[in-house]
Chains A and B, each alone.
Chain A
């Protein structure tokens, strides 16, 4: 039997699902707003419902994002020379032979992805709240509208890549979102420093 190590606890798993689903809902409704996709929005009933769902999904997203601060942020900020190595090798994604530097619980890409999501998440949430709660305050709404949409554009680019990397590109990764555990061997190869720290 393969020895497993726990990479994410139950809360982390749940929270990831929450943020993912809320993001998905926000994206669909957001696209509906952007391009007046009436059929897409019929999922929600009407555009009025869409607005309500979009706004409250935003609240869920924000809360979820807030919780990530406690477990992803400390990891993401722990940067070392190995991260430079990872970057120099582009995470080994563009070569079948490249050997990347040993990685912590989060690899460099994951760290940067998280920081990226955090910054944009805060921007899109804050601007969203301004549009929602300060209607008619023209200057702020216009600025927020811009920030909201720039953030959205960047996130909509990052999001498929994130899914791709978490599924097809890295078989075995997706189970973390389901079980929270990974095989020790798998972990040793990909998160050597983390395994080392755990003393396994």
Chain B
């Protein structure tokens, strides 16, 4: 199956937040009691009951009074996903055949290592200490439907489809940067940016923490090799030298 993805285009986003509502509706997530903090942006961060949100960024503009950006925050569905990599519980976090990074609460052990492994600060934990995050509506896409957010987005700022097609579309539209094309093995949420990712508050080069990569590449194999090596060395030593005997007259 071709890898599926979302193409997020902040230039098309009107900040209506239909995506926030549609997501909650499909996933049956409760609304939170919030306050107005002097901005449209709300809730202030992702929560176990909020899989995606729009950040509102006001910045200077050369042509208009101000530039008002609406940038979506959500799980990026990395191909090389730090969360899956670091997760100690098999099946708790997994990749679907469409390429979504999905989760199974029953298998989650609540260790929260994925929080540390994620380069985008996405995983959250519910009141039962189980992982909670965007899963690209893995239940919907498995049935050939678009994720709830993409389905509801009025302007096509969230587009769902074959990843290669979406990248081609973004490139053809002349965006300066197709974010996430190759990072982390290629993101499942690609962003079409008119400017540098920094303007949109995104990491220029998102990556899994180096320590996690080192652990994965070196320490993990070393645990097997070390254990095996130590046992083998002991046996070889035994064969070569045998047990230490008391005779020898080293007594003084």
Contact = CB atoms under 8 A, between A and B. Distances in A.
Contact of A160 (B107, B109, B222, B231): B231
A164 interface: yes
Contact of B215 (A102, A146, A171): A146
Interface stretch (A61-69, A70-78, A136-144): A136-144
Interface in B208-251: 209, 211-212, 214-215, 219-220, 222-224, 226-227, 229-231, 233-234, 237-238, 241-244, 246, 248, 250-251
Contacts of B209: 142
A96 B227 contact: no
Interface of A: 31, 33-36, 38, 47-48, 50-51, 92-97, 99-100, 102, 131-132, 135-136, 138, 141-143, 145-146, 149-150, 152-154, 156-161, 163-164, 168-172, 185-186, 188-190, 192
A164 B237 contact: yes
B161 interface: no
B18 interface: no
Interface string B57-87: 0000000000000000000000000000010
A106 to B, nearest CB: 16
B37 interface: no
Given A47-B90, A156-B223, A160-B234, A142 B251 contact: no
B31 to A, nearest CB: 23
Contacts of B86: 145
Contacts of A102: 252
Contact of B244 (A138, A141, A152, A169): A169
B238 A158 contact: no
Nearest to B229: A157
B217 to A, nearest CB: 12
A102 B113 CA distance: 49
Given A153-B226, A189-B250, A92 B115 contact: no
